[in-house]
Amino acid sequence: MKVLVTGAFGFLGRHVVKRLLEKTSHRVYCLDVEGADAGGLPEGIAGARLLPKKGSQAGGCREAMETFAPEALFHLAALVRVEDERAQAGEVIRSNIELGCQLIEWGAPNGLKYVVNTGSFWEERVEEGLYDPVDLYAASKRAFGDLLAYLAPAHGLRAITLRPFGTFGPEDGRANLFSLLDRAAISGEEVSLTAGEQVFELVYASDAAEGYLKALETLERAEAPRVLPPVELGTGEALTLREFVALYERVRGVSLKIKWGARPYREREVMGRSANVEKTFLSIGWRPAYGVERGLREIFGQAK
């Protein structure tokens, strides 16, 4: 099967491509949406083929869908965080809504059958099933998910949306809590955090990538074109930020200088959300192999 992955240069996207190459015989192609291919594919996923963007974003994507003609689309590309939501609303809509619609419109006449879409747990800030988006990004992900509910059956496709919680794993170059704690563990500098009462739900990157493969297998078994209900990818452990930092210190063997309460919670902070892992297992047969502690030990070379 020919599989096209958007967002392959992102942290989770790289793990999804790597998993496809290691565990399947699919021909894997990576669509360069934002011109990130100057250095070629990252190490570890070089077995995939890069489809470079030519001309405009829309023109390059259309050419890729029509000439490559993928049977499956793993859609991970997105504009995640913006500095000024009002000023950048158009860019968010183009990246997170229009692009997905265009990929389906261009892919369906050329053999596209399956779509594994990426949503966000930020779509439901307070509890599962209650739509209450954290920000414009989350609202845009929900908007495309709603459009997918129409577009997929209208074009004879099978589709599902996965909602990964915070991904973590080795070789993560993102600026996030992990990089902040790693730097403090080495330098001894003080770290200013919130009061730490929010739930810090995570999913190990290779586990999340396996979820995409399980989702595709589930779609292949579906009897008719349809859209399956969205499912969440996480550990389900529901650690608070304070509990996670304590676990990080214990596993790494360090004592960090944490200034709790020095930073305010973000506007519309997600305080109590945890992944519904059981629902995901019943839908696509996926469970996490790594808990948070095992994942940290793997990162720090303490795997048993």
Q: How confident is the model over 172-229, as pLDDT tens digits? A: 989 999 999 999 999 999 999 999 999 989 999 999 999 999 999 999 999 888 899 9
Sign of the dihedral through C-alpha 82, 30, 9, 56: negative
pLDDT score for 253? 96
CB 167 within 8 A of CB 14: no
228-256: pLDDT as tens digits: 999 999 999 989 999 999 999 999 999 99
The ranges of the chain annotated as CATH 3.90.25.10 are 171-201+236-273+290-299
Helical ranges in 39-191 per DSSP H = 57-68, 89-93, 99-107, 136-154, 177-187
Q: What is the pLDDT of residue 23?
A: 95
| Residue ranges matching CATH 3.40.50.720 in the chain | 2-167+203-233
Q: Which two tokens stand for residue 66?
A: 């029509």
**Which homologous superfamily is 2-167+203-233 in?**
NAD(P)-binding Rossmann-like Domain (3.40.50.720)
Q: Are 42 and 69 in contact (CB under 8 A)?
A: no
The Cα 24–Cα 196 span in angstroms is 41
pLDDT in tens, 213-227: 999 999 999 988 889
Model pTM score: 0.93
CATH topology of domain 171-201+236-273+290-299: UDP-galactose 4-epimerase; domain 1 (3.90.25)
CB-CB contact of 215 with 116 (8 Å): yes
Distance CA 115, CA 190 (A): 45
